[in-house]
Amino acid sequence: MTANIPHPVVTRDRWIAERKTLLAQEKQLTQARDRLAEARRALPWVRLEQDYVFDTAHGPRRLSELFQGRRQLLVQHFMFGPGWEQGCKSCSFMADHLDGMAAHLAHRDIALLAVSRAPLAELLAFKARMGWRFDWASSNGNDFNRDFHVSFAPEDRKDGEVYYNFHMTPFPKDEAPGISIFYKDDAGDVFHTYSTFGRGVEVMMGTYNLVDLTPKGRDEAGLAYTMEWVRHHDRYEDAPAGAACCGGAKA
């Protein structure tokens, strides 16, 4: 059992008064988020000159063929490099939210796709272990990850920094997380409309929105984006027996 959290205790009237003050701040944030979403939709687009070919469970497919009959495609740049024993735990935390959202997003003309640089066989084995249903494609044979600055070759590093999140920055790994949005028009042309990286990927982490409502919150050190408490969902200490259906991966 966890220890109690020291905290002020007040009357109901005092609580209501302070809650109303916080409510005003929350409304300001909601309105600011609405304005930000409008500005995001107003961004200009970039036409893709290359129709990348991916390895998928249905054979080689071009990016333009992965929209599942829809105009919009949301891609999770999932950190999973060739030869890794398992996918990144934080990217897995993100991906845990996808299947529940898929039907709702489909009715907003949005298809979902995870993309990683690991070979397809490695992705599918991990997908089976985690029990996921969303589509996952391998970019192992193309430059998609490097072009969108979520995979880094040695020559991409300059003085220990790589181009990530739209600026040069230190990044310790060869793979990075992100989300990118694409649109396909009637002519079949594909446009890049938006990408977000770093803590911007929290938009996919609905669990955090609920955790942030609670007294303990994320229970992370300071303001750092540590996610130290997060595990693969079959690697928590109280995970049900047999949750790891494929085995072989280390925590």
Q: Which amino acid is at 240?
A: P
Name the pairing type of β-strands 161-164 and 72-77.
Answer: unpaired
Q: What is the pLDDT of residues 45-56, one digit of tens each?
A: 999 999 999 999
* Best-predicted range by mean pLDDT (106-120, 221-235, 237-251): 106-120
Residue 144 lies in a domain: yes
CATH at 127: 3.40.30.10
With respect to residue 157, please indicate whether it lies within any of the assigned structural domains.
yes
What strands, in cross-sheet order, belong to the sheet with 190-197? 46-47, 190-197, 178-184, 72-77, 110-116, 136-138, 53-56, 59-62
Residue 43 to residues 15, 40, 66, 102, 194: CA-CA distances in angstroms? 42, 5, 23, 25, 8
In this prediction the pTM is: 0.90
**pLDDT (average), residues 137-141:** 97
Q: Is residue 12 part of a domain?
A: no
Q: Quote the CA–CA distance of 198 and 92 in Å, as a whole number.
A: 15
**Within the chain, how many helices (H) and strands (E) appear?**
6, 10
Q: Output the pLDDT for position 221.
A: 63
Write out the residue range of the structural domain in which residue 96 sits. 46-204
The answer to whether position 30 is within a domain reads no
Number of domains making up the chain: 1
pLDDT at position 3 is: 66
pLDDT tens for 117-128 read: 999 999 999 999
Query: Is residue 102 domain-resident?
Result: yes
For residue 55, give Cα distances in angstroms to 62, 120, 213.
Answer: 9, 6, 40
The answer as to whether 85 is a domain residue is yes
Q: How confident is the model at residue 239 (pLDDT cuts 50, 70, 90)?
A: low
Tell whether 34 is covered by a domain.
no
Residue 28: inside a domain: no
pLDDT exceeds cutoff 60 at 237: yes
